[in-house]
Amino acid sequence: MPEKPFLIHNAEIAPGQHEIVRIPVGSLPSGNVMSIRAHVYRSMEPGPVLLAVAGIHGDEVNGVEIIRRAITEGLFENLARGSVIAIPILNVYGFINFSREVPDGKDVNRSFPGNMQGSLASRVARTLTKKILPYADFAVDFHTGGNGTYNFPQIRCSRGDLPAEKLALAFGAPFIVTKPLIPKSFRKAAAEHGKIALVFEGGENLRYDKLAIDTALDGLRRLLYAQDMLKEEPPPAGPCLLLRKSSWVRAPRAGMFLWSKCAGEKVEKGEVLGVINDPYGEWEKPVHAPREACLIAHNNAPVVSQGDALFHLGWE
């Protein structure tokens, strides 16, 4: 029995085809129509369908670059089986405005499953949930830290979700961080449809990060290889630590912040992670590690307010 074509918006993509589908999501105040562009790659052989999506947060450009590079390097062409749907920019509005959100201030990743009668964020979310997600068996959603926070390359999935942890291990990022499902997020919407969505985090917003991009591209190769979707053996993964618990170290005072330990490092309890100074040179306050942990993120902001997140710690 031959595989059925995918019917996405007004396109019909049969096995063996590669199509670019433009799905309109709404119009700008200027009248210009904005659309989501999806590359759909289908092999002749039946198999699982991976959805790779980036730019749900429009300013998180590493994810956009990861999928762009995967497309230009031909990673999804010549699949041994199954299909890949690749969307480099979901939130086009945020991308051209260098913004996490859409212009109405709403976060697409807090708008799932979405609603076509709702705001722009809700329409974008609905388009993905309704028109693309039903075809996918598993997904990787690419993110970076927001607001100058640098995330060391990591995969996030739910604690105790063994199939998700297995996919995360296949991806082989340096850290696997288990996190509960965030209400109205894409990962939660996928889970509600019985699909596994891994979240990749790497680098910071509006800044390319070579380590994050290279790690993610190798991770995609390993993920596809583990599903027998790629024939060519990918580079082996380095050590991969499963961190089941995490918490933030926040700024005890407002001031100028300088880190001395950064994401990717292991720290001991009591170790100095950085320092907050006042701008007039009158005091300085060291920031200590509250426990032994791996630093999974640090804040690159030079000026911080009291309570701002400075370091994200992960441990077993």
CB of 60 to Zn ion, least distance (A): 5
Mark the segment that binds Zn ion (CB under 5 A) among 118-126, 140-148, 211-219, 284-292: 140-148
**Residues 202/58, Cβ–Cβ less than 8 Å:** no
Mark the segment that binds Zn ion (CB under 5 A) among 60-68, 90-98, 150-158, 291-299: 60-68
**Residues 62/89, Cβ–Cβ less than 8 Å:** no
The yes or no reply on residue 143 touching Zn ion (CB under 5 A) is: yes
**Beta bridge mates, 87:** 53
Mark the segment that binds Zn ion (CB under 5 A) among 22-30, 50-58, 229-237, 248-256: 50-58
Mark the segment that binds Zn ion (CB under 5 A) among 5-13, 54-62, 66-74, 216-224: 54-62
Dihedral sign for Cα atoms in the order 163, 187, 89, 45? positive
Nearer to Zn ion, 107 or 218 (CB): 107
Q: Work out which of 57, 156, 179, 187 binds Zn ion, going by CB under 5 A.
A: 57
* DSSP calls for 234-269: PPPP---EEE-EEEEEE-SS-EEEEESS-TT-EE-T
Nearer to Zn ion, 60 or 65 (CB): 60
Site of tokens 């199509």: 19
CB of 40 to Zn ion, least distance (A): 24
Nearer to Zn ion, 60 or 101 (CB): 60
Distance CA 242, CA 316 (A): 7
Each residue 173-192 as x (binds Zn ion by CB under 5 A) or -, in order, gives: --------------------
Summary count for the chain: helices (H), strands (E)? 6, 19
CB of 77 to Zn ion, least distance (A): 28
CA-nearest of 18, 20, 1, 49 to 10 is 20
Element of type H or E holding 144: strand 138-145
* DSSP calls for 165-186: HHHHHHHT-SEEEE-PPPTT-H
The yes or no reply on residue 39 touching Zn ion (CB under 5 A) is: no
Nearer to Zn ion, 42 or 298 (CB): 298
Nearer to Zn ion, 165 or 204 (CB): 204
CB of 57 to Zn ion, least distance (A): 4
CB of 146 to Zn ion, least distance (A): 6
Report residue 20 as tokens: 């670019």
Mark the segment that binds Zn ion (CB under 5 A) among 4-12, 15-23, 66-74, 135-143: 135-143
Report residue 125 as tokens: 């979310």
Report residue 39 as tokens: 């590359």
Nearer to Zn ion, 83 or 109 (CB): 109
**Residues 213/195, Cβ–Cβ less than 8 Å:** no
Nearer to Zn ion, 57 or 126 (CB): 57
Interface ranges with Zn ion (CB under 5 A): 57, 60, 143
